[in-house]
Amino acid sequence: MMKALKALIVPLWLITLAAVACMKKAAEELPQVQMRYTNLQNQEIKANEYYHLDIDGNGTVDYTFHTYLVGDPILRHDRKQFLVSSKIETNLLTNENDESPLLYNGDVIRAKWDSYNWFEVSSIVLAEQIIPETGKNTWRGLWKSAKHNFLPVQVMRGGAPYHGWIEISFDTVNQKLVLHKAAISMEANVEVAAGN
């Protein structure tokens, strides 16, 4: 029985290693893409603050980072939300729970995703603080522990998608979202690597 278990563990380990190597290799094999970079200078968004981002430099706002306070008298708590919103012809990658994936340096940003779709004029709660009437405040959301992670974005121009990313950190202690850098591809319909 023990030999059979060991024999099963080794192939699973090799399969996992091969899958990780393939993902890494896919990002490394992407063609060099010309990107437009924006230094966001560690812009902080705290309660009641917002920041408009023109990621492609055409003079119009593409994404807005902002906060929103929601009162819930039924559950008897407030929610301080940190959000990102897209505009017309700008898309956010969203799943059925209105969440956007938290990417790492080198992760590939592409047109098709499992369990996620690109949506125009959408709003995503990155993280939120739950403030109960009594008891301790808590945090929830995929981005609550982000440290230089990447939000995938897509801009539509002339009916074609341009992929990019926004580098984000989140500080629950000081209750702020921090924007580091952003980049958007200068070429349509190409995959890009987050952070590159």
Which residue ranges make up each domain of the chain? 1-30, 34-193
| Total length of the chain | 196
Residue-level pLDDT at 165? 98
For the chain, how long is the longest CA-to-CA vector? 67
Q: In 3D, which of 48, 52, 116 has the Cα closest to residue 82? A: 48
Residue-level pLDDT at 32? 84
Rounded Cα distance, 37 and 53, in Å? 12
Four-residue CA torsion sign, 13, 19, 23, 24: positive
27's CB contacts (< 8 A; 6+ apart) are: 106, 107, 108, 193
Mean pLDDT by 10 residues, the chain (196 residues): 43 39 50 92 96 97 96 89 97 95 97 95 96 92 97 97 98 97 97 96
* Structural tokens at position 136: 């301790």
pTM of the model: 0.83
Residue-level pLDDT at 148? 98
Residue-level pLDDT at 8? 41
Instruction: Tell me 113's DSSP state.
Output: B
Instruction: Tell me 74's DSSP state.
Output: T
